[in-house]
Amino acid sequence: MNIIEMVERLGKDFDLIAKSDAWLHEEERFLLDNITNATNELYAIKKAQQIKALLKDQNLVAMTGTEDEIRIMKLPRAILEVDKGEIERHIRQWEIDGYDVVTSMQLKDYYTQEG
């Protein structure tokens, strides 16, 4: 492949050949770092999705606690523990996530008696 063909293959990015080697290297490093970060974040998201599916199979939810704490509990217990001002938002989200909120609302009475 000759130089003209190589430049044509760059398409709209043809102006990159006028950039300095240092700039190209820095840009390459920047993009590789972004790709690495995005890959790591995607891996964490996929793992979180797997864990949430396992939790959902057992009617468990993860809720934020204090500071960096995550609490895992049965949905009926979570319904009891959510702040009253936040309950509607949480219930909507649990329904969207596929939880059987209606049954859990009925079971929350059991958790109330349990203490």
What integer pLDDT is reported at residue 80 of this predicted model?
A: 86
69 and 53 fall within a common domain = no
- 44 and 68 fall within a common domain: no
Distance from the first to the final alpha carbon of the chain: 77
Is the same domain home to 114 and 63? Answer: yes
pLDDT at site 113: 63
Q: What is the pLDDT of residue 104?
A: 82
Residues 32 and 81 in one domain: no
Local confidence pLDDT in tens for the 115 residues of the chain: 799 889 889 899 999 999 999 999 999 999 999 999 999 999 999 999 999 999 999 999 998 877 789 999 999 888 888 877 788 888 899 999 999 888 888 776 666 665 5
The type of residue at 47 is: K
Quick one: 45 and 69 in the same domain? Answer: no
Residue 68 domain flag? yes
DSSP run (H or E) holding 66: none
Looking at the fold, whether 63 and 30 belong to one and the same domain comes out as no
Residue 14 lies in a domain: no
- Domain extent, residue 85, equals 59-115
- Residues 109 and 63 reside in one and the same domain: yes
The number of domains in the chain is 2
Q: Is residue 43 part of a domain?
A: yes
Q: What is the pTM of this model?
A: 0.71
Cα torsion 34, 36, 41, 42 to 10°: value is 110
Residue at 109 is within a domain: yes
Residue (of 51, 52, 55, 59) closest to 79 by Cα position:
59
pLDDT at position 65 is 74
